[in-house]
Structure 1
């Protein structure tokens, strides 16, 4: 710990002791009730910390996810920010995509490309794409396989984005493999 961190910790301990001491002095006639209230607040604090730590697991089990029907239809609930997300295995590696019907191609971030076995440093960034962040270089690639809910397609043309990207985009080179794309009742439906 640095000296500054030690000083901050000392300040917080002294502040906590002052607040705790004043609470004890103020409630010295009702120490039992004060201890009960302190225990309740401690449990609330522990509960909030536990819920925060487990939120990822809880939200995965509570919120609806993509699913496949027996007739080959895939349903995807609307996700955070109003987007639709699909989890597709690219070359055997799970990749989370934002469905983007305005994108003409499947666009991988450099991070997702690397995870799928493509070395972004060895690619030739010969194309350009207009994005919300301006023009970015792109490198054409061919994905061996894309597997969604047990159905494998491939090879599929894609590009690797040379700019900053948080999520990969699922564009029309993949979405065009479906006969119908429909959005109704906050659900995206892909039909073969």
Structure 2
């Protein structure tokens, strides 16, 4: 019996939505607002009726239980309303705890916390495969290690290592390639010119200018590297 009124409310709302489908307003409310109002009203009546039956003669306990569930409902609605901000906050905390992790920001901005060594180790994806890079503004191009090149499907045995380059380990030869996609967080660049260093001459991938120059901007602010996409 307690379900008659809630079901009647939902039934009336459905009839109105069917009769006035295509209308901008129904009974002074937008169709989605009417649907939400009907469902919330029915739910509230069911909860209220259940509490009356459960706490009959114990009204003080009923009031306490109602207050608890109202607070819980408000809390859940608040969490849902600020879910995007909470997600960003969570990413920021993880970014502080794990240097190199890309933290999303507003308008496509991303940031990375400096590692303990003083450099910026950046998590990225090369042709869909995870790879870690060292930010190197002195490198004119993106440079991959031979191991990373193999992991993303490049046949290094067919490359021509005829480009002289200088690394932290000295001079070596490298081969020119084009990376199909290079993604750092939400920033994705395609057809990025790059080099593959000869085996054993480089042990870290370098995030050089052929990626950085495509950004809208990038800056180092304290211990944080901030990158912004082109607008």
**TM superposition score normalised by structure 1:** 0.65
Shift of 1:60: 8.7
Alignment-derived partner of residue 225 in structure 2? 188
Map 1:38-49 onto structure 2 (within 5 A): none
Please list every run of 5 or more consecutive structure 2 residues that lacks an aligned counterpart in the other structure.
1-93
Q: Structure 1: which 4+ aligned runs deviate by more than 6 Å? A: none
Counterparts of 2:128 and 2:98, CA distance in 1: 25
Counterparts of 1:121 and 1:161, CA distance in 2: 12
Counterparts of 1:62 and 1:95, CA distance in 2: 19
Alignment-derived partner of residue 16 in structure 1? none
Alignment partner of 1:63 is 2:98: yes
By relative contact order (CA 8 Å, sep 6+), the higher-ranking structure is 1
Counterparts of 1:176 and 1:61, CA distance in 2: 26
Map 1:114-125 onto structure 2 (within 5 A): 114-125=150-161
Specify the SS of the correspondent of 1:87: strand
Larger radius of gyration: 2
Alignment-derived partner of residue 98 in structure 1? 134
* Distance change >3 Å, CA 164–CA 106, structure 1 → 2: same
**TM superposition score normalised by structure 2:** 0.54
| Aligned length in residues | 134
C-alpha contact 2:110 2:228 (8 A) present in aligned 1: yes
Counterparts of 2:149 and 2:210, CA distance in 1: 17
* Distance change >3 Å, CA 125–CA 80, structure 1 → 2: same
Counterparts of 1:133 and 1:89, CA distance in 2: 25
- Provide, for residues 118-172 of structure 1, a one-character-per-residue CA deviation record: whole Å limited to 9, x for no partner: 1211100111002232210010000111122233211110000114222100000
Alignment-derived partner of residue 74 in structure 1? 110
Alignment partner of 1:167 is 2:204: yes
Specify the SS of the correspondent of 1:82: coil
Shift of 1:72: 1.4
How much is the aligned-residue C-alpha RMSD, in angstroms?
A: 1.9
Counterparts of 2:146 and 2:208, CA distance in 1: 16
Specify the SS of the correspondent of 2:117: helix
